Structure 1
Amino acid sequence: MSVVAITGAGGFVGRALVKRLAQGQHEVVPLVRSPIPGNTASHRDLPNLASLAAGEAGVDLSGVDILIHCAAITQSKTNMTEAERQHLFAVNVGGTAALAREAVVAGVKRFVLLSSAKVNGETTAPGTAFRADDPAAPLDDYGLSKLQAEQSLVSTAVGTSLETVIIRPPLVYGPGVAGNFRQLIKLSAKGLPLPLGGVHNRRSMIAVDNLADLIALAMDHDKAAGRILMASDGEDISTSELIARLARLQGAPVRLLSVPASILISALALMGRKGIADRLLSSFQVDSAGTRALLDWTPPLGVDAALADTISSPP
């Protein structure tokens, strides 16, 4: 029986992963800053990752075979102060490097890092998708911090017995999701006319349960060692199609007006909402075919089933 330690076990992805691993023959050890309500697994304390990076604290990895690192600051806001930016990198980069060093000392066999497809960039051209062997091209501080986290992990593991696996997912959704995706669910339920019928982009996503299933497979799969794994549901859909599916699943009418995307982009840019335009109107495709073939993996949930689960579970 392998001992699997998970940072961020109380977070959005971490909770799904703990639930998924409870179905297998593993001893799960949540690494958390405080006990997870309702979780019966014995936990170990995880200090603040910035403190860990600064050498002010340590973490107990004794007896751990596999370390899955999900804890991170998951986004960077526009116009961060320099202090906020330094904290982002201290947590995401310094914290990962410190955990990798502790894993080497403790004799951990494999370190799985949950990274992000934003390491590859922010948008894809029509008919193209990000691949694991593409040059990294992060365009914001969050994407850059995840790239540097990957690099710090790999460089720390060189010359040691520590195996590394890096997983890059796009947008993750599922039961408990909040933020913009939850707002989109609420908006689509109202059945209001929306000027998105002319949007024919393609965006990759991954259901949190599909991501947890992939992590569970990759954490001890022989072929995953040393790999960067691109992750997605395997079905890319447009923003207009996503809204239509969300509306139908909630029994709401679909009212999409065909306004050219170029007009919407210009209008949102004039309103200072370029970030919203990028998320709604641009394409962001991830090629996960290589991951599925390498690990012989099929996402257990289809998009419609995963969307239905998301709708029925409040944040």
Structure 2
Amino acid sequence: MRVLVTGANGFVGSAVFARLQADASTVVTGAVRSLAGNPSTDGLLHAVGDIGAETNWAAALESVDVVIHLAARAHVLNDSFTDSLAAFRRINVDGAVALAQSAIRQGVKRFIFISSIGVNGNVTDTQPFSETSSPAPHADYARTKYEAEEALKHLCTGSAMELVIIRPPLVYAAHAPGNFKRLLKLVSSGIPMPFGSLRNQRSLVALDNLVDFIITCTRHPAAANELFLISDGEDVSTADMLRLLAQGMGKKSLLLPVPSPLLAVLATAVGKRNIHTQLCCSLQLDSSKSRALLGWTPRVDVRSALAEAGRRYAQTA
């Protein structure tokens, strides 16, 4: 089997690429924006430039059986674009469609699109999200991921190429970027945090588990033309997450029992209501379909994986 991984030098992409390289039954190549700064990989990386409607994927797709599309414009803290939605759409929608169109022309058998649980929303109240939940994207990133999903489904209908869509929640590891990296730094600092009273529940997925599931979807016949919400299978509160990270770092967690409603008032007052939502509200998903349909089970459990992320972060910080 020949597999192309886009975004092969990214957080998830590099882990998928490395795992497939270790598989003797798979020939893996990667697509990156530029070869500058990438280590030598014996010609296994293809530089495709900026991703959009005009990207030329022909060389990268030669003889490929499966595409794992991870390259995307993700969350941007200090966005300099005047039209942020258009910038997201150019890469996340137009780029994905151009890649899929080229993949169909070149006879690719399966296209695996890594989307986001944000397509469903950013908060759950009474029940977890599942594959049958109505989409309700809450931000430009999630909105364009949903638009890409719909465009890819339309494109693949009637073609010979199978489509698999995966919507993960927060993906974590010791070297994770973004919000999880900021949490690791916060815990490592030893600063008291006002989250001791939180009883929210959040679904997460360890990098090892997500990589294993993606690779399962490259081979399993039952994954064809399916949507999957994927997680570690056990949810944790933000307070428990911080305690487990601190445990792995060999530190004592200092969590002050500040009520969540008061945190919401304070966050709103300083214009950080979105951070309160991410840290204090619940976001749960039901990932039972992956187990029932594919027989997949997580390689690591959430509590062990969070503690391990803390331990490894402390070793490298």
TM norm structure 2:
0.92
> How large is the Cα RMSD of the aligned pairs?
1.9
Shift in Å, 1:40: 4.4
Kept after mapping to 2: 8 A contact 1:47/1:59: no
Q: Which residue of 2 aligns with 1:91?
A: 91
- In structure 1, the partner of 2:3 is 4
Equivalence for 2:101: 101
Paired letter, 1:49: I
Whether contact under 8 Å (2:241, 2:306) holds in the other structure is no
For 2:140, the equivalent position in structure 1 comes to 141
Shift of 1:208: 1.1
Query: Aligned residue for 1:295?
Result: 294
* Cα distance in 2, alignment partners of residues 42 and 291 from structure 1: 31
CA contact (8 A) 2:48 2:56 kept: no
Q: Confirm or deny: 8 A CA contact 1:69 1:111 kept in the other structure.
A: yes
Equivalent in 39, 49, 53 of residue 37 of structure 1: 39
Deviation at 1:56, TM superposition (A): 6.0
**What's the % identity of the aligned pairs?**
38
In the alignment, is the contact (CA less than 8 A) between 2:190 and 2:254 conserved in 1? yes
| Residue in 1 that maps onto 2:28 | 28
Written as runs of structure 1 = structure 2, the 5 A alignment for 1:276-295 is 276-295=275-294
1:235 and 2:234 matched? yes
* Distance (Å, rounded) in 1 between the aligned partners of 2:86 and 2:294: 37
Q: What CA distance in whole angstroms lies between the structure 1 residues aligned with 2:120 and 2:55?
A: 33
The residue that corresponds to 2:121 in the other structure is: 121
Contact 1:7 1:46 in 2 (8 A): no
Contact 1:265 1:277 in 2 (8 A): yes
Report SS of the residue matched to 2:113.
strand
Residue type matched to 1:119 in 2? V
Question: How many angstroms does 1:287 deviate by?
Answer: 0.9
Aligned to 2:263: 264
Q: Which sits farther off after the overlay, 179-188 or 234-243?
A: 179-188
Is the contact between residue 46 and residue 59 of structure 1 (CA under 8 Å) also seen in structure 2? no
Task: Report the 3-state secondary structure (helix = DSSP H, G, I; strand = E; otherwise coil) of the residue aligned with 2:219.
Answer: coil
In the comparison of the two structures, how many residue pairs are matched?
310
Q: What are the superposed Cα offsets for residues 19-42 of structure 1, whole Å, 9 maximum, x if unpaired?
A: 211232100011122333254462
Q: Map of 1:184-223 to 2, 5 A cutoff?
A: 184-223=183-222
For 1:119 and 1:260, the matched residues in 2 are separated by 29
- Structure 1, unaligned stretches of length 5 or more? none
Q: Is 1:307 aligned to 2:309, yes or no?
A: no
**For 1:57 and 1:83, how far apart are their aligned partners in 2?**
25
Matched AA of 1:278: T
Letter in 2 for 1:282: C
Q: Give yes or no for contact 1:188–1:246 (8 Å, CA) kept in 2.
A: yes
Distance 2:190 2:82 in 1: 42
Question: Is residue 58–residue 102 contact of structure 2 (8 Å, CA) maintained in 1?
Answer: yes
How far 1:82 sits from its partner (Å)? 4.0
Q: Which residue of 2 aligns with 1:75?
A: 75
Cα distance, 1:308 vs structure 2? 3.9
Structure 2 match to 1:49: 51
Query: Relative to structure 1, is the Cα distance of residues 110 and 153 closer, same or farther in structure 2, using a 3 angstrom cutoff?
Result: same
Q: Secondary structure at the match of 1:235?
A: coil
Partner SS for 1:159? coil
Structure 1 residue 146 displacement after superposition: 0.1
Distance in 2 of aligned mates of 1:192 and 1:78: 25
Which amino acid in the other structure matches residue 256 of structure 2?
L
Aligned-partner residue type, residue 185 of structure 1: L
Structure 2 residue runs of 5 or longer lacking an equivalent are none
Alignment-mate amino acid for residue 117 of structure 1:
I
